[in-house]
Structure 1
Amino acid sequence: MLHTQGCKDYGTNVVAGVTPGKGGQDFEGVPIFNSVLEAVKATKGKCFNDFSPTSICCRCNNGGCSCKNFPLIVAITEGVPVVDRVSGVDFVNKKGCGLIGPNCPGIITPGQSKIGIMPGAIHKAGGIGIVSRSGTLTYEAVGQITRVGLGQSNPYRNRR
């Protein structure tokens, strides 16, 4: 819940959390649901941030994509086997979803909102989109760009 709180503190409108068996509870004003499908039906959420363990990451992502009009999944989970990634990407593409990850630090629109684990303080709004396969190198690139007075933008554009 640390990263969820960090997203909220940065300005992200977090409308739900999902933890099987914990539905009906509340965390810092955020309702908790037992499944992604329940959460989306109740809140009309548009993005799913996956912090699930490796063993259930693809199953969670597939559950998220089963929801109609669910445009984006951000999968933070590390260690997802390549074969599972390939089948997961195929599944989300067939469902018309976008997928960032797995094993990514998330996505940020500097000064507005973030989904994931990036440190918001190093970002500055601007026009440079950064896409990387390494969280640590992403932070280094962002930090250097910010230090020279340039800012970053959100490079993700939904294809819908």
Structure 2
Amino acid sequence: MSVLVGYNTRLVVQGMSGSQGAFHSRQMVEYGTNVVAGVTPGKGGAKVEGLEKIPMFDTVDEAVQKAGANTSVIYVPPPFAADSIIEAAAAGIQLVIAITEGIPARDMIKVKYVLERDYPHVRLVGPNCPGVITPGQCKVGIMPGYIHKPGGV
């Protein structure tokens, strides 16, 4: 399996202003992940406590255009997660990691169909997953970073 995230990952956090998104964004930044933007519709320009240096945008397209994001992590509530995944793909994101659990099955069927039809280059990890990590380089998700160390298995 190829390495999905690493030093070249430029992460946008969809739902960064929510409690889970903010908490895990701080954890990812602390680990060394290059979080370049947050997205919450209607909160463009807002600041999140502990993440004041990270710009907030209204759309993923803005995050791609202005911050150069190439990977997205989804921390939005289940009713909005499918649209968030499709929005990321439409904006040119290559890797989408959906942490959200409880996304309706019908919504994910739609996502699978749209990704296969319109965005076959996009890789989706999840939903309802802990994320992806390359130890010592980049952590995207909810797993504790201290339990992952670089080196042989």
TM-score by length of 2: 0.78
Give the whole-Å Cα distance in 1 for the aligned partners of 2:141 and 2:128.
Answer: 11
Q: CA deviation at 1:26?
A: 2.9
Q: CA deviation at 1:7?
A: 0.3
Residue 35 of structure 1 aligns with an amino acid whose one-letter code is T
Q: CA deviation at 1:124?
A: 1.7
- The answer to whether the aligner puts 1:49 opposite 2:73 as a matched pair is yes
SS in 2 for 1:5: helix
TM-score by length of 1: 0.75
SS in 2 for 1:125: coil
User: Which residue of 2 is the match for residue 117 of structure 1?
Assistant: 142
Structure 1 residues 122 and 42, CA gap change in structure 2 (3 angstroms)? same
How many residues in Structure 1 have an aligned counterpart in Structure 2?
127
Kept in 2: contact 1:89–1:99 (CA 8 A): no
Give the whole-Å Cα distance in 1 for the aligned partners of 2:104 and 2:25.
Answer: 25
User: Which residue of 1 is the match for residue 106 of structure 2?
Assistant: 83
The structure 1 segments of at least 4 consecutive aligned residues displaced by more than 4 Å after TM superposition are none
Unaligned runs of 5+ in 1: 128-149, 151-160
Give the whole-Å Cα distance in 1 for the aligned partners of 2:81 and 2:59.
Answer: 13
Counting aligned pairs with the same residue, the percent is: 43
User: Which residue of 2 is the match for residue 134 of structure 1?
Assistant: none
Give the whole-Å Cα distance in 2 for the aligned partners of 1:21 and 1:67.
Answer: 18
User: Which residue of 2 is the match for residue 11 of structure 1?
Assistant: 32
**C-alpha root-mean-square deviation of aligned residues, in Å?**
1.3
Give the whole-Å Cα distance in 2 for the aligned partners of 1:91 and 1:75.
Answer: 16
Q: CA deviation at 1:89?
A: 2.2
Within 5 Å, give how 1:140-159 maps onto structure 2. Answer: 150=153
Unaligned runs of 5+ in 2: 1-21
